[in-house]
Amino acid sequence: MTTLSTDHGLTRVGPPLTDNSAPFQSARRIYAHKWTNDYKFAPGLIPIIFRRVSDYDVVHIHALFTFTTTVAAWAARARGVPYIVRPLGTLSCYGMHARRRLLKRLSVALIEKAILRNAAVVHFTSDVERREAEELGLTFRGVVVPLGVEAPAVVLQHPTHLQRSNRRLILFLSRLDPKKNIEALIDAFAFSPMLRAGSALLIAGSGSSTYVDELKARCKDRGIADLVVWLGHVEGDAKAAALHAADVFVLPSFSENFGIAAVEALFAGLPCVLAEGVAIAEDVARAGAGIVVPPKAAEVARALESLLDDEAERRSMANRARIFAEDTFSSRVMGQRLIEIYQNVRAPRRTNAD
């Protein structure tokens, strides 16, 4: 397996598809310099993609509306290699309307429509994500495979900065972005006498300094600055500590094509308050592991109050959350499902006789 990407971030990969027993070291990562942020323009990947795409059985493309993913789809089709597309939430209602609405519609008509139609499979991570893509009237062969998530490590003792006397801890864990609707969470906390009296709010995640400053100013204006703990970006033990210290997890996003942070919270046994725009929200509610609300401050506040006011129900919901996460989102199960898809769509191996 080879991962081609821009230098925008890193990707974890596993052993090659054609030899499941091969060591991890056989996986390769190739990065090219990204010239622009908006379209991920990285011309250095063009010769690499066209030269090497025929060496592989399957190409798995992540995201749409970017230069590199478009080139990958065209190269795979030109060389007769089947490809899979994971839209990464770009076809959601929010994704299509929030930014550059007209430009995206034009791009779909000229580029993405054909990419999706010619894909061997379009990989969605939730039923909601697939349904919203279908509403665009596009033709594709879709399959839903949730993301595999690892359970957070067990933390035996909470760090002192996460200890807030007898206050219940409400955790928000995600990227700090207007899409996440953190303003509604701050207002929900500020306008609820019950939450202010007996709770503290943990906000974990990073974002632009300007936006974070706006959120902190909002907390100050609402009179809750001393009840909010800003953890910044957390990972590893720090993330596990936050998850295990919290009593409730909340994600009031306008849109999430999956919701990895919510799944991590489920693994940690946290009852979840999720906005309707979180793709897995309906599944979480059906499993009795959380409450689904409109993305409004008053509704978020009521849900948090109901959970924090009923310890017995909170404990029962925590147990259901763990069971649901282990049965539905384990990396082992999801990895096997992806392998089966790869085996079903991969191109026949070329031989010298061919």
> For the chain, which residues make up each domain, given as ranges?
2-148+332-345, 160-329
91 contacts 136 by C-beta, under 8 angstroms: yes
The tokens for 351 are 């031989």
% of the chain at pLDDT higher than 70? 83
Which one, of 343, 175, 151, lies nearest residue 264 by Cα? 151
Q: What is the pLDDT of residues 67-108, one digit of tens each?
A: 888 999 999 999 999 999 999 988 988 888 877 889 999 999
State the CB neighbour count (10 A cutoff) for residue 133. Answer: 24
Q: How confident is the model at residue 166 (pLDDT cuts 50, 70, 90)?
A: confident
Entry pTM: 0.77
Q: In the prediction, which pLDDT does 165 show?
A: 64
Say yes or no to pLDDT of 19 above 80: no
Q: How confident is the model at residue 333 (pLDDT cuts 50, 70, 90)?
A: confident
Q: In the prediction, which pLDDT does 99 show?
A: 74
Q: In the prediction, which pLDDT does 6 show?
A: 57
Q: What is the pLDDT of residues 123-147, one digit of tens each?
A: 999 999 999 999 999 999 999 999 8
Q: In the prediction, which pLDDT does 40 show?
A: 66
Q: How confident is the model at residue 29 (pLDDT cuts 50, 70, 90)?
A: low
Residues 160-329: name the CATH superfamily.
Glycogen Phosphorylase B; (3.40.50.2000)
Q: How confident is the model at residue 170 (pLDDT cuts 50, 70, 90)?
A: very high
Q: Which of 218 and 42 is assigned the larger pLDDT?
A: 218
Across 156-166, average pLDDT: 62
β-strand pairing of 199-204 with 228-232: parallel
Q: How confident is the model at residue 331 (pLDDT cuts 50, 70, 90)?
A: confident
Say yes or no to pLDDT of 164 above 70: no
Residues in the chain, overall count: 354
Among 76-85, 212-221, 343-352, the minimum mean pLDDT is found in 343-352
Q: How confident is the model at residue 114 (pLDDT cuts 50, 70, 90)?
A: very high
% of the chain at pLDDT higher than 90? 69
Q: In the CATH hierarchy, which top-level class contains the domain 2-148+332-345?
A: alpha beta
Q: What is the pLDDT of residues 272-299, one digit of tens each?
A: 999 999 999 999 999 999 999 999 999 9
Among 43-52, 224-233, 264-273, 318-327, the minimum mean pLDDT is found in 43-52
Query: One fold for both 2-148+332-345 and 160-329?
Result: yes
Using alpha carbons, list the distances in angstroms from residue 267 to 5, 42, 85, 163, 261. Answer: 30, 37, 28, 21, 10
DSSP letter for each residue of 176-204: -SGGG-HHHHHHHHHT-HHHHHHEEEEEE
131 contacts 137 by C-beta, under 8 angstroms: no
Across 248-263, average pLDDT: 95
